[in-house]
Structure 1
Amino acid sequence: MFPSYLRSFAAYLKLTRGYSDHTIAAYRRDLEKLPAYLELRDWELSISQIERFHLDDFIQYLAELGLAPRSQARLISAMKTFFGYLLDERIIATDPTELLQAPKLGRKIPEVLTYEEIRELLAQIDLSTDHGLRDRALLETLYACGLRVSESTGLKLTNLYLDQGFIRVTGKGNKERVVPIGGEAVKHLEIYLEYVRPHLPSIKPEAENIVFLNRRGGALSRVSVFTAVKKYAAAAGIEKNVSPHTFRHSFATHLIEGGADLRAVQEMLGHESILTTEIYTHLDTDFLRETIMSFHPMNQR
């Protein structure tokens, strides 16, 4: 979405505005963070669909990660200049930065569940019912593989290689990737596939190759997955704003906390840019602080 516009924007800054190479590079680095954030939030937007609230969220998010006020000011300046350029070139019809202001701090960053909270949420599922067996398999897969909700509802039987420990996922832009899947998720998937799915009254022709089905034999909707996650989170007494995407955030955060290679996490999440994956590293700060406080010699005195 952005690269071609950024290239022409850099030429505009250089030739028309006379900006220094240092300033152009800084603006470009700032602006490259925006598509990475949009991908993180799972917002599939063209450049003309970006509105002020998207940019407000983006700036707020970076502020809560610790972006200094001076850097925030430069970021806002870069975005105002960029979208002003797009407006002049008639690439967009309205400028979303026109009333853009520095963010007010205090809003929450995207929620992440602890491992204990995830186990408690999963424990709320009634495994004595077909519905519960399906939901357990679904949520275990979401967490084990870091899937987007659309990737889970579109998961195909022919893309399951459970005996080999991986699944093939179709992500954004119909791009496929291979993702490992752990033993716990495999166990619950196999239970669902053996004891629940084959015994549905009927399966709609278009859903014959879809893994997760509703009671009428059709593919699950995003809304039904969202509703299920909300229900189990409430039953577990979790007060965080939990959604299916929370499992994806938690998957990435727990891997990075455990020392996983950032490139490997990028590959498993299906991020085009490493910048998107790097956003998750901020969630590791509590873990790092605890390590420093526990083991740094100056803190042992």
Structure 2
Amino acid sequence: MSVADEVVFRDVVEAFLTDRATLTRRGLNDRSRDAYRQDLTAWARQLHVDAGGDAEADALKRVPISALTDQNVRIAYRSLRESSAAATCQRRVGTLRLFTQWLQLEGHLLGDPTLRIEAPERPSRLPAGWSVDELRRLARAASTPRDGTDRRRWPARDRAIFAVLVTTGVRAAELCGLCVGSIRREPDGETLVQVIGKGDKQRNLPLPPEAVDAVDAYLAEREARFGAAAPSDVLFLLTSAKPLLPGALNHLVETWIRLAAAPKQPGEAAHAFRHSAAKGLIRSGVPVPAVQGLLGHEDLKTTGIYVKATAADTRDAVLLSPAREVLRETAIPTP
């Protein structure tokens, strides 16, 4: 077989993704497909570079499946580890393993070139979240009109966003994906927010009265600005009437953090509200399975991270207790 006749990455990637969508219990949404595709593109590019090719070339159509040898994969992996975070490497190794196993089943590969690769462990980092006092300052930063002529400012909208984030713990993409009809008023007086999460799974989250008041105030201002909204219209808008996207949401939260002099948390700014909501519920004695349902975690172990983080907070509080100084000062001398 000539090089021109060889099977290349581009020939099989889409078939692999279709197979994954069929075998995976929840299927694959567009985001998951894109993530798999990006990981495989990263491997193809690295294999192409290691073979002396151009990093900017379309590696998917240039790299043959036969390039997935033990030696080539080890070299590519070393390069990826030098340029990527541990979590990224771990994900990409996982993707490549699934891909090479599928290639073997389809008869494109005779062996698994990933067998000798050990993905790095993710660094152990417990979620932080904000204290109640810090949340108070953030709420004021979101809700208080400020001097200036910045037309992008919209305190009623910002307070509504803050209220939904801090009481439900929804992800940034989930909040930006809400529609006006996602706010459901039940006959018994309860208000729910209908969230579409990972894997397009739906969950209905209770919205407390204080958050409902904030959302209603925003909706009244929105109608005054832009007219009546249809249930299918995006819930949260920019002042230009365009939909609020995750990038703009994180920029907005970063502004609140700066104004409130609150500590910046690791990761995306808006995601810290998710950590804060989860840890607040655990501290209040809410059962872990209930917190799991609220956050939309597939695995209870993921929710358990917040239990561990809350325990660590308690330990730190004990270590900082002024009672330690009292005990030191009144210690009985040892004979």
Normalising by the smaller structure, the TM-score range is 0.5 to 0.7
Shift in alpha-carbon separation, 1:85–1:161, aligned structure 2, 3 A: closer
Q: Please point out which of 173, 187, 195 is paired with 1:169.
A: 195
Deviation at 1:111, TM superposition (A): 3.4
Q: Which has the larger radius of gyration?
A: 2
Aligned residues: 236
Cα deviation digits, residues 239-279 of structure 1 (max 9, x gap): 32361111111111111122111111111111122122122
Residue of structure 2 in register with 1:147 after alignment = 170
Cα separation, 2, equivalents of 1:115 and 1:97:
48
The one-letter code of the counterpart of 2:39 is Q
Q: Does 1:192 align with 2:218?
A: yes
1:159 pairs with 2:199: no
The residue number in structure 2 matching 1:132 is 155
Q: Give the CA deviation at 1:153.
A: 1.1
Give the counterpart letter for 2:247 in structure 1.
Answer: V
Counterpart amino acid of residue 239 in structure 2: R
Distance 2:95 2:251 in 1: 39
**CA drift at 1:161:** 2.5
Residue of structure 2 equivalent to 1:56: 86
1:59-70 correspondence runs (5 A): none
Distance 1:211 1:110, change over 3 A: same
Distance 2:126 2:198 in 1: 24
Change (3 A) 1:95 1:203: farther
- Aligned match of 2:276: 250
What are the residue-to-residue correspondences of 1:26-45 with 2, within 5 Å?
Answer: 45=35
Distance in 2 between residues matched to 1:179 and 1:201, nearest whole Å: 27
| Residue 256 of structure 2 corresponds to residue 266 of structure 1 | no
CA apart distance, 1:232: 0.7
Q: Separation in 2 of the partners of 1:94 and 1:231?
A: 47
Output the amino acid matched with 2:138: L
The answer to whether the 8 A contact 1:201-1:216 is kept is no
Q: Does 1:112 align with 2:129?
A: yes
Q: State which drifts further: 207-216 or 250-259.
A: 207-216
2:269 is matched by which residue type in structure 1? S
- The Cα of 1:160 is off from its aligned counterpart by 1.1
Give the Cα separation in 1 of the matches to 2:183 and 2:229: 20
Partner residue of 2:233 out of 201, 209, 214: 209
Distance 2:291 2:35 in 1: 24
* Counterpart residue number, 1:21: none
After TM superposition, the score normalised by the length of structure 2 is 0.57
1:223 correspondence with 2:223: no
2:146 aligned with 1:123: no
For residues 158 and 165 of structure 1, the distance between their equivalents in structure 2, rounded to whole angstroms, comes to 12
Distance in 2 between residues matched to 1:272 and 1:43, nearest whole Å: 19
Q: State the identity as a percent.
A: 23
Aligned residue type for 2:304: E
Contact persistence 1:83–1:96 (CA under 8 A)? no
Q: Which runs of 5+ in 2 are unaligned?
A: 1-18, 21-31, 43-79, 147-152, 322-326
Q: Distance in 1 between matches of 2:145 and 2:98?
A: 60
Segments of structure 1 that go 5 or more residues without pairing to the other structure are 6-41, 60-75, 295-299
RMSD (Å), alpha carbons = 4.2
1:235 aligns with 2:252: no
Report the CA distance between 1:216 and its aligned residue.
2.1
Shift of 1:164: 1.2
| Structure 1 CA distance for aligned equivalents of residues 142 and 33 of structure 2 | 30
2-structure distance, mates of 1:178, 1:85: 33
Asked if structure 2 preserves the Cα contact closer than 8 Å seen for 1:204 and 1:218, the reply is no
SS in 1 for 2:244: coil
CA distance in structure 1 between the partners assigned to 2:279 and 2:313 by the alignment: 11
TM-score normalized by the length of structure 1: 0.63
